[in-house]
């Protein structure tokens, strides 16, 4: 008796760095039942995602021309390369992630008549601040992607509403599936603090508050607004920003401008960064654009109070004054008031952290995400 044929799922994502969308692809590819599925990942520019997947024996195919920057020549080259890969791999399900991979992948998948083409919208890019014409073009591009796919996964209620408002898009096509997270083995607070800031760990005052975030150093994460806000806080604090990216030099200059070199630290990318979260008293994520951020889910498992912006899927996780505090994006005054409130109310920090922990465990498990997503693969 021949063994049952496995369902081949081919994931495509533009960037191979380590961010929320990459964690999502990794979580699915690694945790698919091995007796039922074969997972293959196609990504641009390699990087940490490729390394992590190879460690788990997941096959990775790179497309060097697949980059976030817009270039007609590069897009055409990426399209034909992906077309040839799909023609060779013959996947049963094509699962697309990120706008560019979604667009070219949906067209290639349709031309090759791949049975299942799924696109996960990790926050619609037309929500970003752009010129009027750029926004119109991106809306059109997003709509074409949605129309060409057999199913679209949205990770937040706001994105679901925006997808349902698109013309000729049926309710059956759009599926709301929140990101899910597995349990984390956190490192002990004092040990982590010493590991993060060896030079400071013996010198900070006992009432120094530790504020932290885990996010790519990208303009959408609004680190510059966090730094500016912190320059107005008088209470003793340390702020640790874990992550790497294109904004590093700009942020270093801003920290120097405010003379905060002894208070704000860009510690770069950390392997298993979430295990360091117990070092913090408050977690912040004041992005101007988000999908449904893993950072906040991880902070919830660490029982941390969260200050975050009212964008994307964040309100799906954070209920203001219950599991954290929500502020408007790019609003320094609201963010400062929220920080000062939590600094002055340690009991409320504990209450918010406890409530968020319970919510994340109940509503955002990896098992739920896997189960709901796998149903779309058949």
3-class DSSP assignment, residue 325: strand
Domain presence at residue 265: yes
pTM greater than the 0.85 cutoff: yes
CA angle 374, 355, 286 (to 5 degrees): 80
- With a CB cutoff of 8 Å and minimum separation 6, the contacts of 112 are 83, 86, 87
Specify whether 140 is located in the same domain as 196: no
Tell me the C-alpha distance between 351 and 356, whole Å: 9
Specify whether 197 is located in the same domain as 169: no
User: What is the token pair recorded at 109?
Assistant: 């998948």
Domain presence at residue 370: no
Domain presence at residue 182: no
User: What is the token pair recorded at 273?
Assistant: 């960064």
Domain presence at residue 308: yes
Specify whether 274 is located in the same domain as 212: yes
The number of distinct structural domains making up the chain is: 2
Specify whether 144 is located in the same domain as 243: no
Specify whether 171 is located in the same domain as 32: yes
Q: Tell which of 123, 155, 176 closes a domain.
A: 176
pLDDT at 261: 93
Specify whether 203 is located in the same domain as 164: no
Domain presence at residue 129: yes
Specify whether 34 is located in the same domain as 171: yes
3-class DSSP assignment, residue 7: strand
Domain presence at residue 374: no
User: What is the token pair recorded at 197?
Assistant: 């800031």
Specify whether 310 is located in the same domain as 335: yes
Specify whether 315 is located in the same domain as 214: yes
Residues 283 and 305 sit within 8 Å (Cβ to Cβ): yes
Residue 248: CB atoms within 10 Å: 15
Q: CATH number for the domain including 52?
A: 3.40.50.2000
Q: Tell which of 176, 204, 221 closes a domain.
A: 176
Specify whether 161 is located in the same domain as 208: no
Q: Tell which of 123, 153, 176 closes a domain.
A: 176
**Which residues span the domain enclosing 144?**
7-176
pLDDT at 68: 59
Nearest residue to 146 via CA among 172, 173, 127: 173
Specify whether 172 is located in the same domain as 217: no
Domain presence at residue 375: no
Domain presence at residue 291: yes
3-class DSSP assignment, residue 131: coil
Specify whether 137 is located in the same domain as 237: no
pLDDT at 1: 47
3-class DSSP assignment, residue 10: strand
Per-residue pLDDT of the chain (378 residues; tens, 9 = 90+): 455 789 999 999 988 888 889 999 999 999 999 999 999 999 987 688 999 999 999 999 999 877 655 666 677 888 999 999 999 999 999 999 988 889 999 999 999 999 999 999 998 777 777 788 877 888 888 898 999 999 999 999 989 999 999 998 988 999 999 999 999 999 999 888 888 876 554 556 667 899 999 999 999 999 999 999 999 999 999 999 999 999 999 999 999 999 999 999 999 988 889 999 999 999 999 999 998 999 999 999 999 999 999 999 999 999 999 999 999 999 999 999 999 999 999 999 999 999 999 999 999 999 999 999 999 998
């Amino acid at each position: 008796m021949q063994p049952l044929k496995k369902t081949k799922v081919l994931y495509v994502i533009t960037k191979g760095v380590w961010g929320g969308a990459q964690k999502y692809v990794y979580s699915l590819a690694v945790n698919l039942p091995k007796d039922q599925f074969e997972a293959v990942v196609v990504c641009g520019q390699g990087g940490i995602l490729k390394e992590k997947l190879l460690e788990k024996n997941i096959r990775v195919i790179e497309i060097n021309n697949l980059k976030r920057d817009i270039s007609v020549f590069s897009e055409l080259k990426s399209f034909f390369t992906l077309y040839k890969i799909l023609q060779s791999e013959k996947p049963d399900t094509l699962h697309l992630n990120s706008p560019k991979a979604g667009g070219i992948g949906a067209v290639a998948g349709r031309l090759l008549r791949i049975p299942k083409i799924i696109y996960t919208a990790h926050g619609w890019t037309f929500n970003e601040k752009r010129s009027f014409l750029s926004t119109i073009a991106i809306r059109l591009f997003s709509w074409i992607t949605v129309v060409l796919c057999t199913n679209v996964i949205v990770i937040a209620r706001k994105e679901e509403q925006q997808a349902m408002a698109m013309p000729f898009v049926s309710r059956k096509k759009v599926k709301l599936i929140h990101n899910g997270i597995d349990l984390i083995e956190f490192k002990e607070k004092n040990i982590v603090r010493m590991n993060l800031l060896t030079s400071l760990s013996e010198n900070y005052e006992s009432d120094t508050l530790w504020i932290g975030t885990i996010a790519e150093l990208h303009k959408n994460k609004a680190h510059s607004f966090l730094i500016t806000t912190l320059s107005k806080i008088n209470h003793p604090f340390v702020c640790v920003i874990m992550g790497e990216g294109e904004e590093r030099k700009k942020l270093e200059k801003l920290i120097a401008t405010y003379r905060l070199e002894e208070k704000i630290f860009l510690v770069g990318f950390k392997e298993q960064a979430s295990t360091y979260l117990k070092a913090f008293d408050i977690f912040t994520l004041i992005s101007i654009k988000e999908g449904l951020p893993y950072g906040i889910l991880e902070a919830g498992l660490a029982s941390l109070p969260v200050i975050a912006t009212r964008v994307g899927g964040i309100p799906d996780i954070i209920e203001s004054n219950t599991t954290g505090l929500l502020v408007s994006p790019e609003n320094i005054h609201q963010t400062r008031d929220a920080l000062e409130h939590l600094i002055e109310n340690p009991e409320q920090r504990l209450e918010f952290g406890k409530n968020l922990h319970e919510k994340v465990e109940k509503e955002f498990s990896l098992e739920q995400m896997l189960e709901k997503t796998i149903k779309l693969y058949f």
